[in-house]
A and B are shown apart, each in its own frame.
Chain A
Amino acid sequence: MSKRLETELYKAATLTFEEMGFLLPTPEIGEQQLNAQVEAMVSVEFKGPFSGKLLVRVCGGLLPILAANMLGEEETPPINLQYDALGEIANVICGNILPCIAGSRELFCVSTPKMVESIDLPPVAEIQVGLGLGRADLLLFISNHAVHAE
């Protein structure tokens, strides 16, 4: 695992959850957050000087809260909008992390987010963000990049 990548991933994730989801990260992750059930997992793939994907997994009741906050709604949005909201969060985090890894001159094509049910490869960076009573896990997978050697 790359410490630098994890630091950058945490910064991009917390900024996105704060500004788009109006959710502030908890300073530590407690027992309840750690044991929270997985609700949904979304993946965003990217291709450029190297390829890979960012996976975002939310747990413990975060999914409807995130969507409602993003839309400024008091009522729980329909499930398709909840998934779409999570996809957009993943898309924004991915778009913000890529220049930190590759430098700001490189071009990437970022695909449309898609819901996934399992994880296949070992990630090069993995972080957890405590949010309310739940948590978000972010896993970054990269192929053909020097970051593996860090």
Chain B
Amino acid sequence: MAFNILVVDDSSVMRMIIIKTLRLSKLPLGEISEAANGQEALEVLAGKWIDLVLVDINMPVMDGEEMINRLRENPATADLPILIVSTEGSETRKERLVQKRVGFIHKPFTPESLRFAIFKMLGGLDEQKTGN
């Protein structure tokens, strides 16, 4: 099984870093899609099957939290795995987001920590599946 992943961040450099880390992760990857804000991400999700969303919080147009709210309200995406990749330091916001069943990784991250968080998010893929 190959995973289709959507990377949502207003920084094109951050999207490139995340995608490079994904390609080096030995995850069985399908298509990797990109969006620069929550609104664009919802449009991508409306037209494609996505297995995992990696999303920043602070973005223009529509921020990550609003995007997550919209996804959780929609029965089709209510259980979609979401990993927040953000500098967010507020415990208040983090606690609110964790209640929406999302994972969290703090920037700056190392490639290893991002890889670990993704594996955890996808239900602990075993070594055989990931080729390790």
Chain A residues with CB under 8 Å of chain B are 15-16, 19-20, 67, 70-72, 81, 84-85, 87-88, 91-92, 94-96, 98-99, 104-112
Contacts and interface: CB of A to CB of B under 8 A. Distances in A.
Interface string B73-114: 000000000000011111111000000000000011110000
B14 to A, nearest CB: 5
B13 A88 contact: yes
Given A19-B108, A19-B110, A107 B13 contact: no
B13 A105 contact: no
Contact of A104 (B58, B89, B110): B89
Contacts of B86: 95
A33 to B, nearest CB: 23
Contacts of A84: 11-13
A107 B87 contact: no
A99 B89 CA distance: 6
Contact of B88 (A88, A95, A105, A111): A95
A81 B13 contact: yes
Contacts of B12: 81, 84
Contacts of A81: 12-13, 16
Nearest to A67: B13
Contacts of A67: 13
B17 interface: yes
A105 B92 contact: yes
Nearest to B58: A110
Contacts of A110: 58, 87
Contacts of A109: 58
A105 B84 CA distance: 18
Contact of A106 (B92, B109, B110): B92
B108 A15 contact: yes
10 contacts: A19-B110, A20-B17, A20-B108, A70-B13, A81-B12, A91-B87, A92-B87, A92-B107, A95-B89, A109-B58
Given A71-B20, A88-B11, A107 B90 contact: yes
A111 B110 CA distance: 24
A136 B33 CA distance: 33
